[in-house]
Chain A
Amino acid sequence: DADVTQTPRNRITKTGKRIMLECSQTKGHDRMYWYRQDPGLGLRLIYYSFDVKDINKGEISDGYSVSRQAQAKFSLSLESAIPNQTALYFCATSRDSPSSYNEQFFGPGTRLTVL
C-alpha cells in the first residue's frame, strides 16, 4: 500500500467551483506539505504544517486554503478555482525537526484542470 495517497488523482472542473484535494499518510510523520508543479517552474510550496495545530503559508498561498484534520490528513482547497490554477499538485510528508535534514516523501499527485 502507498504511504502517501492523494485523492482524486485527476479532476476537471470549471472556473468558480470549490475544489478540495485530499492527502492521507500512513508514515506517522508530523510534517506535511502541499506543492504545485507547472511545466518549467519546478515545485512551488503552497502551504505546510509541522503538526496538527500548525499551518504556514508557503511561496504561493494566495487562492488556496488548507486544513489539517489529523496527523495523517492534510487537505488543500481552492475556494473559487481559476484557470491558472491548472497544475499538478503534490502532497509530501517528512519526519519531525530538523525538517530540513529529512527527506520528503511524495504522493502520486493530483492533476487538476480548471476550464
Chain B
Amino acid sequence: SQQGEEDPQALSIQEGENATMNCSYKTSINNLQWYRQNSGRGLVHLILIRSNEREKHSGRLRVTLDTSKKSSSLLITASRAADTASYFCATGSGNTPLVFGKGTRLSVIA
C-alpha cells in the first residue's frame, strides 16, 4: 500500500503566489523525496531530505520534515505558470524501493 498521502489533491493559485503541498506518511523513514510530473510525462526528482534534517532549500523550493508528526511540506515560492504539474512525495526506508504517494495537482494561473 502507498506510504505517502499528499494534501491537497489539487491546488489552484495565481502566478506569483506561494504554493504549499503536504505529505503525511505512516511508518519510519530514512528519507523523503519530492518529484514533479508534467502532464503524462515521467517524474523528475526535485529534492531529498533525510530523516535527521528538518528543512532544506533548493532555488524556489523549500522542504520541511517533521518526523514526530510523520509529515513533510513542499513550498514553491513566487510560482510561475511553468510550475503547473503534479507533485509527488516518495518515502524511503531501509534498502527497499521508494514508495510514492498519489500526488497533488498544482495549477498556476497566469
Taking Cβ atoms with an 8 Å cutoff, the residues of A that contact B are 4, 33, 35, 40-45, 48, 58-59, 88, 90, 92, 97-101, 103-109, 111
Pairs across A and B, CB under 8 Å, 10 listed: A42-B100, A42-B102, A44-B2, A100-B93, A100-B96, A100-B97, A100-B98, A101-B50, A105-B45, A106-B44
Inside 8 A of A44's CB, which chain B residues have their CB? 2, 100
Our pick among A90, A101, A105 for the contact of B92 (Cβ within 8 Å) is: A101
A69 vs B90: C-alpha distance when bound (angstroms):
28
Question: In the bound complex, do residue A104 and residue B2 qualify as a contact, i.e. CB atoms below 8 Å apart?
Answer: no
Beta-carbon nearest neighbor of B94 in chain A: A100
How many inter-chain residue pairs (CB < 8 Å) link A and B?
68
Tell which of B11-19, B35-43, B62-70, B76-84 binds the partner. Answer: B35-43
CB <8 Å contact, B43 and A42:
no
Chain B residue at smallest Cβ distance from A42: B102
Q: Are B102 and A108 in contact (CB under 8 A)?
A: no
Provide the bound-state CA to CA distance between A101 and B97, in Å. 9
Give the residue of B33, B40, B97 whose beta carbon is less than 8 angstroms from that of A58. Answer: B97
State the Cβ distance, B91 to closest chain A Cβ, in Å: 8
Most-contacted residue by chain B among A88, A98, A107, A108 (CB, 10 A): A98
Question: A98 and B41: CB pair below 8 A?
Answer: no
B40 near A106 with CB under 8 A, answer: no
A100–B58 Cα distance when bound, in Å, is: 20
Interface residues of B in 25-49 (CB under 8 A from A): 30-31, 33, 35, 40-45, 48
